[in-house]
Amino acid sequence: MPIEILLPGSHAECLRSNLRPFGQKVKCSDYEVTNKLSARGYEGRIVGYTNTFQTYWVIDPSGKTRLAKNPQPVQSVPDSDDETLILTNDKMLPKESEDTMPELPTQDLDTPSLTPSEESEPGPSEEQRIEPSVPKRKKGKDWTSVVGTRDQPTRESKKRVLAIGIDPDHPTDEQARNSPQAAKWAKAREKERDQLMKYGVFTKIKKSDIPESTKIVDTKWVYVIKRKADGTIDKYKARKVGRGFTQEAGISYDTDKTYAQIMRPETLKILLVIALYRKWAICQWDIIAAYLQALLHHDVYVSDINEQGEIEYWKLNKALYGLKQAGYEWFKTLQEILHFTGLEQCIRDEGSYASTDGQLIIGSHVDDLLGIAPTEADLDKAEKSVEKSVELDKRGRPSLILGIELSWNKENTEVILTQ
């Protein structure tokens, strides 16, 4: 079906130009590299699609299936000797050329002989033998999508090309509920619901209480496994989010208030340099349930399915993750909190705040705060002031912030940044 019918009013040509065909050879950025001398990219082939824009499942030369953001197609050279890769469920194998392929018997012993009428009928070509993608799901197990079959005379008669359709650190709702860690995910969902109740994020209402012609925003669960700097599991996190794309512009949010200022990357390094040069104290904080503490200035109604499978309707009092204006409302709330602490917004970096005497500087990135001051007592004083409005998780001297690993020496006079 044409994409214009599925997505009316969309920029179909733009969407189609960004779509990568299945099996295309692409070059991808490798974000898992920790050694600076290692290659920062790899070549692979697209074997699956995701719901995220320009994000695909790619199988690399080692046979590992990985998520790739915006892979770039490799320009093929006509009549080149570049080998063709056949995708299997465990590795990528070079397709054998005609010169090296052994001769096959004209008739398989297990195959019944054909009548003259059957022999005269042309058989399907190799492209016609490829089966369409048929996703299969099995309850309680990781599901796999069969995306095609291809005859390989030199090996098994039909090898299935498999694309693994699960990211263990970001499972879907169905995968989380049916996984071996289902009990941990259930506990994470319960904790999230308790936070929504604690901060008074919503008020339960009846569907009849919602004004007519008002569009109801859908909600969904998003799961993620938080990991420490060494890669071990820190916690299982479940978050109830609103599907902001179902909101109505100008009614449930203002189109010019969907942004949030954050600390610039260079500001983070400048704060570290100032702290080291002046031998100041440094501390990192994580604001617990940041968005859930930002007041909304529009009437937003959402629907939710509780653990018993019943549909509930909420009128939101505070921001819910995923809403169009959630980031902006939290940014304005944090701005007021830090202003009450005695800090002013910096002119050059509106995501950073400093005291008038320059003895306390705090950089913010959504719910992450990094502060520097001459002494630990100065930071403790600022922490107590902020905790009058929001709940903080004190991390102390940062070891991992914004995806950057910080390695300090014993004297805390030097730091190495690894990304």
Nearest residue to 388 via CA among 345, 338, 331, 347 = 338
pLDDT at 17: 64
Considering the domain architecture, whether residues 42 and 188 belong to the same structural domain is answered as no
**Contact indicator for 334, 352 with CB cutoff of 8 Å:** no
Domain extent, residue 241, equals 173-418
Q: How many angstroms separate the CA atoms of 46 and 110, rounded?
A: 36
Alpha helices in 302-356 (DSSP H): 326-340
**Contact indicator for 225, 169 with CB cutoff of 8 Å:** yes
Indicate whether 274 belongs to any domain. Answer: yes
Q: Determine the angle formed by the axes of helices 326-340 and 376-386, rounding to 10 degrees.
A: 120
Indicate whether 343 belongs to any domain. Answer: yes
Indicate whether 284 belongs to any domain. Answer: yes
For residue 30, give the CATH number of its domain.
2.30.30
pLDDT at 169: 86
pLDDT at 262: 92
* Identity of the residue numbered 146: V
Other beta carbons within 10 angstroms of residue 56's beta carbon come to 25
Considering the domain architecture, whether residues 261 and 403 belong to the same structural domain is answered as yes
**Contact indicator for 393, 386 with CB cutoff of 8 Å:** no
Nearest residue to 371 via CA among 310, 263, 287, 283 = 283
Beta-strand (E) ranges in 104-218?
134-135, 144-151, 158-164, 202-205
Give Cα separations from 192 to 186, 187, 299, 383 (angstroms): 10, 9, 22, 24
Q: How many angstroms separate the CA atoms of 303 and 35, rounded?
A: 47
pLDDT at 418: 86
What the block records as the tokens of 215 is 């569009």
Local structure of residue 360 (DSSP, 8 states): -
What the block records as the tokens of 365 is 């990135």
Considering the domain architecture, whether residues 228 and 375 belong to the same structural domain is answered as yes
Considering the domain architecture, whether residues 299 and 389 belong to the same structural domain is answered as yes
Nearest residue to 362 via CA among 419, 283, 415, 258 = 283
Considering the domain architecture, whether residues 399 and 268 belong to the same structural domain is answered as yes
Other beta carbons within 10 angstroms of residue 284's beta carbon come to 18
Indicate whether 60 belongs to any domain. Answer: yes
Considering the domain architecture, whether residues 194 and 90 belong to the same structural domain is answered as no
Indicate whether 120 belongs to any domain. Answer: no
Place of tokens 């609103």: 242
* Identity of the residue numbered 130: I
**Contact indicator for 183, 192 with CB cutoff of 8 Å:** no
Q: Among 94, 125, 142, where does a domain finish?
A: 94
Q: Give the count of domains, the chain.
A: 2
For the chain, residues with pLDDT lower than 50 are: 79-121, 124-164
Considering the domain architecture, whether residues 300 and 190 belong to the same structural domain is answered as yes
What the block records as the tokens of 55 is 């994000």
Check: pTM over 0.85? Answer yes or no.
Answer: no
Q: How many angstroms separate the CA atoms of 166 and 279, rounded?
A: 47
Indicate whether 178 belongs to any domain. Answer: yes
Indicate whether 136 belongs to any domain. Answer: no
Q: What is the CA radius of gyration of the chain?
A: 28
Nearest residue to 403 via CA among 261, 275, 268 = 268
pLDDT at 160: 41
Considering the domain architecture, whether residues 57 and 192 belong to the same structural domain is answered as no
Considering the domain architecture, whether residues 302 and 390 belong to the same structural domain is answered as yes
Nearest residue to 218 via CA among 244, 193, 180 = 244
Considering the domain architecture, whether residues 54 and 187 belong to the same structural domain is answered as no
Indicate whether 124 belongs to any domain. Answer: no
Q: Among 94, 127, 159, where does a domain finish?
A: 94
Considering the domain architecture, whether residues 241 and 374 belong to the same structural domain is answered as yes
Considering the domain architecture, whether residues 233 and 382 belong to the same structural domain is answered as yes
Q: Among 67, 94, 121, where does a domain finish?
A: 94
Provide long-range contacts, Cβ within 8 A and 24+ apart, for 66-71.
66/28, 67/167, 68/26, 68/28, 68/29, 68/44, 69/28, 69/29, 71/20, 71/26, 71/27, 71/28, 71/44, 71/46
Q: Is 275 helix (H, G, I), strand (E, B) or coil?
A: helix
